[in-house]
Amino acid sequence: MNLVIVTGLSGAGKSQAANALEDMGYYCVDNIPPAIIPAFVDLSKRESEGLSKLAVVTDIRGGNMFAEIEKVLDDLKKSGIDYKILFLDASDDVLIRRYKENRRKHPLCDMENVSLSDAVRLERKRLSKIHAAADFDIDTSLISSAQLKSILTDTFLKSAESGLRILCTSFGFKYGIDVDSDLVFDVRCLPNPFYVDELKEKTGLDKAVSDYVMDSPESEEFLARITAFADFSIPLYIKEGKSQLVISFGCTGGKHRSVTFAELLCRHLKEKGYNASVIHRDINKTQV
């Protein structure tokens, strides 16, 4: 049985994650108390349909019942039930803004009689242990719903079969660093197509832009060193049991140089047989 336990900060996108998993064939249950999870798993095993893909969302909405999560996870392991924890996160200011925009109350505001900002900080503290134990940790502060779904699709459709899942991303430093990254490479030191009139409005997905970026000894050497580092380090991550690795490239606006390098590294990793995919976070944003 493939069991995914979805948890994380309120407002970070757990419902969207559950919808994405449901689209992938998972039987999803939202807002389930931790103590019920083992019984739900047992019931699913006894179903004639033989449900093999389950996803449950459990979080702070359960109040005191959620405090049992650590014991429940330990009991699941002792029972031989394999599971993965998907943790959805976002920065405090983004979470606060989302709650203000949709005019919903944070679950802890009434439970603990605290302000919204205090509720976010308190929830983060209470989730610190399960956050540290998460197999997949996704920060949704700067990604769209479509990008979240793409990340989850790549992760849960492929990772079970292919081991380590590698995500190559591009981003623009002017929009904020990609905080979900494990490795970040700054390619702002390389030739910038933004200052070439016929290339300015194109992206690193266009051959003319990619050729321009790579038409220098510095760019070729930069790529060679990065691919050599990836070839050396990825087997070490696999040996340590890491399930996902995010390698990010940042340039000024996230449209040209970073896109070029993310695409090239992803292509290299696929040729090596790794489960690699690519996402360009800021490629459609307008530079000024």
Q: Residues 237-269: pLDDT tens digits?
A: 887 767 789 999 999 999 999 999 999 999 999
Sign of the dihedral through C-alpha 197, 201, 204, 208: negative
User: Does any domain span residue 128?
Assistant: yes
Same domain, 130 and 106: yes
Q: Is residue 286 part of a domain?
A: no
Express each pLDDT in 31-77 by its tens digit. Answer: 999 999 999 998 888 765 667 889 999 999 999 999 999 999 999 99
- Name the residue range of residue 122's domain: 2-162
In a domain, residue 288? The reply is no
Q: Is 278 a residue whose pLDDT tops 50?
A: yes
Q: How many domains does the chain have?
A: 2
Which of 16-25, 128-137, 155-164 is least confident? Answer: 155-164
Report yes or no: 56 and 6 within 8 Å, Cβ to Cβ: yes
Is residue 287 a part of any domain in this protein? no
Domain boundary among 123, 147, 162: 162
* The pLDDT of residue 209 is above 90: yes
The mean pLDDT value for 155-170 works out to: 74
**Residue 214: left (phi > 0), alpha (psi -120 to 50), or beta?**
alpha
Domain boundary residue among 103, 138, 162? Answer: 162
Instruction: Say which CATH number the domain at 25 has.
Output: 3.40.50.300
